[in-house]
Chain A
Amino acid sequence: MVRKLKVGVFSFTCCEGCCISVIESLNSKMFDWQKKIDFVNFKALKKVGKIQNMDVAFIEGAISTDEESLKLQEIRVNARVLVALGSGAINGWPSNLRNNFKGEVKSKVMERVAMSGQNEKVVPAKEVVKFDDEIFGCPISEEDFVKKMKEFLNE
């Protein structure tokens, strides 16, 4: 039996729209991928598992806490290929809107930010660790995700 591709999907600060696109790509690929892919980490679909030995890890969202930053670094060292999904991971938008707040709105928002232990600035995942690949979009399209997955499956 051919070894299954070990894949992780992780969400950070975002709307999880890219994750929805991944789930929706299963509408056509579910049973085909069941034979070829082992989703070892995918919180939207299964219990949270250990972060280890992934062939490919997909990341959506921006980074707004130290905890998120550490988790992303852990994923990086445990994934052969790291792929950024969509706007949040690639350029931080729109989770980083608060970086540009000014005046009274800024001071009130920053109070809340400090209280809940979030960092002063929200940064794209790409700024925290090195990525090997990316899929653009807000959200990414199902077609682009399927195409990328085919590359990893050598199809």
Chain B
Amino acid sequence: MIKNLDIELKDISKIEGHTNMGIVIRDGRVLECKLKISENNRFFADALVGMSFGRISTMMSRICGTCSSAHVLCSIEATEKAFEVVPTEQTMRLRNLLANANHLRDHAMHLWFFVLPDLFDIDSVLDFGKDKHRLLQDGLDVKAVGNFMSEIIGGRAVHPFFGVVGGFTNFPDKERVKKATGALKATRKKILDLIELLWKKRGKLVFERETNYVGLINKDYNFLEGTLEDSDGNVIEERDFGRHLERVILPYSNATAFKMDGDEFLAGALARMNVNRKSLNRSTKKDVKKYLKAFPSYNVFDNNLAQAIECLNIVDNSIKMLRKPIQEEPLAKVVPRKSTGVGVMEAPRGTLYYRLDFDDMGLVTFADLVIPTQQNVINMERTIAAYVQSLLEKKKSKKEIVFEIEKMIRAYDPCMSCAAHFLSVDWND
């Protein structure tokens, strides 16, 4: 058994953005496990101060190429809450479709491009031989459908711009909606095949460590509305979310971390599946009955299975939403005033929170964001430390331990581009 070791993982691959990890082992015990996020800060929240409300969403989408739609939608929600704009039923439906499109593409990229190589013990999706081409093609097709939905609803896949405060500026025609519906239907089997593959390989990756799981609870497993609940069923009102969070400065990281009500917690697909799975679409539930037995799960590697089940649910929910006709609608009237608005939604990696303060001209006076990866950092460090401890006790080699750490980091699906958003002003009220 390894007694003393310093592990420094540099520039971990197949995740979003840049991070290192440092682990210190002495006398066979893991003393330190630090996620050293090295992504350079870009101070988006500070840049918002003085900006007019109509420009916020296009600016904030640039926080992240991976989950840009989430930043668009959450900043719009915060702005509309501040000015008491009530979106129409169709606007909410289109926003849900945009969120679905983003989650589908994002989850598919993570599952097929980042996770699959780990399951087959190879380095890269680029190294798969011809025998895996069909499996890979499935992933490419699922991603392409997510992109196409983003294009017809939001204008493009990355940094979509049709969704604005008050509604949408463009609307998909019937033909494109029909095409999207057909493509969505064609992905069901591909996603189910991946779920079955993850299920078969599930025994390979097991490490249970329970924490507090937090996510939006609603009636149809949508990503935009509902009440936040934790594992114990404690309800957190959207507008009070910030009050439950405590910012933790990690001197070795370019990202701040968060605790909820004084302790670590987990956000993201696994958390959502643990707290909200009863709201999955009926067709999804029917086809994933066997796999749902895994939840609630305290094994973070099941985040991958949860993402795959979410993909199927997105497909079934989106097909249903696209059945209703989409018509051109004028934007809702927006009257700026001095106010504060809070937006809360489920981004692909967990609960995203925006608070925006405005003056009576609609210019931002203060902005704060809480990013899902920031919420998961403390749980990541503690779970990885416990995992390494268990691997030491199983007498694993350094090489094996390093690979397992990388796999676990990837299972969390962290996004450093988002996490390194850094607020220079302390939020003190």
Contacts and interface: CB of A to CB of B under 8 A. Distances in A.
Chain B associates with chain A? yes
Interface of A: 11, 13-21, 23-24, 26-28, 30-31, 34, 39, 42-48, 64-65, 68, 94-95, 97-98, 101, 105, 108-109, 111-113, 116, 118, 138-139, 141
Which 8 pairs, one residue from A and one from B, show the smallest C-beta to C-beta distance?
A: A17-B65, A46-B124, A108-B424, A97-B47, A13-B40, A15-B65, A20-B65, A64-B40
B96 interface: no
Contact of B140 (A21, A30, A46): A30
A44 B158 CA distance: 16
Contacts of A44: 13-14, 16, 113
28 contacts: A15-B64, A16-B16, A16-B66, A17-B62, A19-B65, A20-B109, A27-B140, A28-B144, A39-B126, A43-B13, A44-B14, A45-B13, A45-B124, A47-B124, A48-B11, A65-B40, A68-B40, A94-B42, A98-B46, A101-B47, A105-B49, A112-B41, A112-B43, A116-B40, A116-B41, A118-B41, A138-B159, A139-B159
Contacts of B159: 17, 138-139
A18 to B, nearest CB: 7
A25 to B, nearest CB: 11
A11 B415 CA distance: 14
Contacts of A108: 46, 424-425
A46 B147 CA distance: 23
Contacts of B40: 13, 64-65, 68, 95, 116, 118
A139 B62 CA distance: 9
A26 B141 CA distance: 10
A111 B426 CA distance: 14
Interface string B108-140: 010001000000000111110000010011001
Looking at A21, A28, A30, A42, the one whose CB has the most chain B CB atoms below 10 A away is A30
Given A43-B11, A46-B124, A112-B422, A13 B42 contact: yes
Contact of A48 (B10, B42, B59, B127): B10
Given A24-B147, A46-B14, A48-B13, A105 B64 contact: no
A116 B256 CA distance: 13
Given A43-B11, A43-B13, A108-B425, A101 B43 contact: yes
Contacts of A20: 65-66, 109, 157-158
Given A17-B62, A45-B126, A101-B46, A109 B113 contact: no
